[in-house]
Structure 1
């Protein structure tokens, strides 16, 4: 814990998002003073979790919008670290270029310009995604992807598989942010999380939590998201949100940290998940007789060897550890019955 007066200050963008809310909590628990941004501070429903977080330490909630030049100036002024978590997530975009890709790049550079202006931000930690690593055609099995791997933008824009715009946006944001950091002398580190699950302070969640609980909830639409994730990435790589937040802090605080870091603790498949969940949670009658082109074993695994090599330790390394917490959270959210 830092001594009072010696508190490090961090800005986390998009504090009412799933990952950002968990990161705000983790930073406060570790003695940081935190500023977080939301588009509408008056939205009581979306911001209700901040009350509980403010009990943990100094947390200021500010208004900022990725689309507005300079709107992050106040939020990052005087901060030591800026965690860029907010990003447009519009899987249903009719025109991904205009609705997703361009706003994502513009918004990221917007915040980074504010970081340069601040003169105090020592490092920017960009939350990217495994979608920037593994969306590419691969032949055969047994592939292990590390930080050298990039999703294939040319293939994505030509073939246009489902949610291709999201993967392209993540690649271009990383590349543009890197270029901007080099030109402006900013220390930038990127964290690429895989499917992130586990309990967070927010009570409304989308995508990763419903998808990862779909075999238990029986929700077909959510299960089809999980199957799509496997099909597009060659497996279902997972990480607990607590490990992701710790990895983000590690990337901020480790002087020698640089470049990209994949954050993944388990590589599995829909079939493996179904078998595990059927055995562990018999009360949910999990369907293990799954049809479709599903994999027995991951064809592609994502490796966090770089993160581990540099001194980071994952706490949640088995499906059992990950799901214990996730199932409880699913009940709180009303996705699962007791």
Structure 2
């Protein structure tokens, strides 16, 4: 069942919102109470789209309260759907022009990473893809993958530039005696991409995949897991999240960053532009924890960032993730430096989420 979260009487006086149903395109965004998905929904509504989104429980007011704040922007319908239930996305995708597959299991404390992350992640992606096939109206599917599907591989030396032809090494990631949640997450992204591509080709679905890096910046969602707490760990002192930052740098050879607004703009461009195809890395800046700590200590002295806590980590990135393909498609990043990305709005967002002290 869908839940209508939009009051059409609020449309008066706005030329965008008076757009006819014929002119207005409809997009489905899965996992609407997630960090990236919430920002994408807001952007699509502001661009004049009608949006269908999915959550597991539409009645959970704590997780879904941000939808109310988007009511005035445009038509927003909220559907109940579960990644593990085949067919549960049929209603949300029906009649849509575009589908943005953002929802995915992320649990860095998973007790059974193979089942909770790998199997669930791939199954969820394919369930939504099958709903897109059934709909028969979807012009383009945009799958949000991750840089974890690109850069987790053995690398010798420094100065590597990785592009869309690079894949994380599944055999290497699977070789550990006990698979970590991080390794399982990377594998799930690789397999999900490849299986989605295969299903799309077999069924004549136009698919593009976006591989974002560690994503920062404010979003409408009132809860954010992993990415935002990790990005703010140098301020919060959260040891677990700080270790997540270290793991990213150790596993991939850099600490790559992108602002959530840039990521969402990239996804919309790749959906709308007919000539786009295949994978696109979305990375605005390759840095390191040491560079990040120094920059943030200078910009926000009131937080007493402990640069010494970074320990023995390299000054410069060992690799660079190239977004040349994305830029070649006509995209330009707005947020290009640490100062740009860690602005006051991001700090305020961290306070609103309870990650930073008010």
Q: Is TM more than 0.5 here?
A: yes
**Comparing 88-97 and 43-52, the one that deviates more:** 88-97
1:266 aligns with 2:285: yes
Structure 1: gaps of 5 or more residues: none
CA distance in 2, matches of 1:164, 1:240: 24
Q: 2:249 is matched with which residue?
A: 230
CA distance in 1, matches of 2:310, 2:326: 36
Q: Secondary structure at the match of 1:163?
A: helix
Within 5 Å, give how 1:109-128 maps onto structure 2.
109-128=126-145
CA distance in 1, matches of 2:306, 2:252: 23
Q: 2:51 is matched with which residue?
A: 34
1:218 aligns with 2:237: yes
CA distance in 2, matches of 1:38, 1:14: 5
The CA deviation at 1:292 is 3.5
The CA deviation at 1:140 is 0.6
Structure 2: gaps of 5 or more residues: 1-15
Decide whether aligned partners of structure 1 residues 141 and 161 sit closer, same or farther in structure 2, where only a CA change above 3 A counts: farther
1:287 aligns with 2:303: no
Kept in 2, the 8 Å contact 1:235–1:295? The answer is no
Residue 61 of structure 1, aligned match among 65, 78, 93: 78
Q: For residues 59-111 of structure 1, what are the alpha-carbon distances to aligned partners after superposition, in whole Å with 9 as ceiling and x for unaligned? A: 00000111111111110110000000011112222332222211111111111
Kept in 1, the 8 Å contact 2:52–2:92? The answer is yes
**Comparing 256-265 and 91-100, the one that deviates more:** 91-100
Q: Secondary structure at the match of 1:24?
A: helix
Deviating above 6 A after TM superposition, structure 1's stretches of 4 or more consecutive aligned residues are none
CA distance in 2, matches of 1:277, 1:22: 24
CA distance in 2, matches of 1:177, 1:167: 15
Q: 1:336 is matched with which residue?
A: 356
Kept in 1, the 8 Å contact 2:27–2:98? The answer is yes
Decide whether aligned partners of structure 1 residues 92 and 161 sit closer, same or farther in structure 2, where only a CA change above 3 A counts: closer
1:101 aligns with 2:118: yes
CA distance in 2, matches of 1:98, 1:287: 37
The CA deviation at 1:50 is 0.6
Decide whether aligned partners of structure 1 residues 162 and 72 sit closer, same or farther in structure 2, where only a CA change above 3 A counts: closer
CA distance in 2, matches of 1:136, 1:321: 30
Q: 1:192 is matched with which residue?
A: 211
CA distance in 1, matches of 2:242, 2:131: 40
**Comparing 223-232 and 17-26, the one that deviates more:** 223-232
Q: Secondary structure at the match of 1:121?
A: coil
Q: 1:299 is matched with which residue?
A: 318
Kept in 2, the 8 Å contact 1:271–1:290? The answer is no
Q: Secondary structure at the match of 2:96?
A: coil
Residue 337 of structure 2, aligned match among 299, 310, 318: 318
Q: 1:165 is matched with which residue?
A: 184
The CA deviation at 1:162 is 5.7
Kept in 2, the 8 Å contact 1:143–1:299? The answer is yes
Q: For residues 262-284 of structure 1, what are the alpha-carbon distances to aligned partners after superposition, in whole Å with 9 as ceiling and x for unaligned? A: 00101100000111011111111
Kept in 2, the 8 Å contact 1:265–1:316? The answer is yes
Q: 1:240 is matched with which residue?
A: 259
CA distance in 2, matches of 1:213, 1:92: 19
Task: Report how many aligned residue pairs link the two structures.
Answer: 338
CA distance in 1, matches of 2:300, 2:217: 17
CA distance in 1, matches of 2:309, 2:157: 22
1:75 aligns with 2:95: no
Q: 1:4 is matched with which residue?
A: 20
CA distance in 1, matches of 2:136, 2:48: 22
Decide whether aligned partners of structure 1 residues 269 and 205 sit closer, same or farther in structure 2, where only a CA change above 3 A counts: same
Q: Secondary structure at the match of 2:201?
A: helix
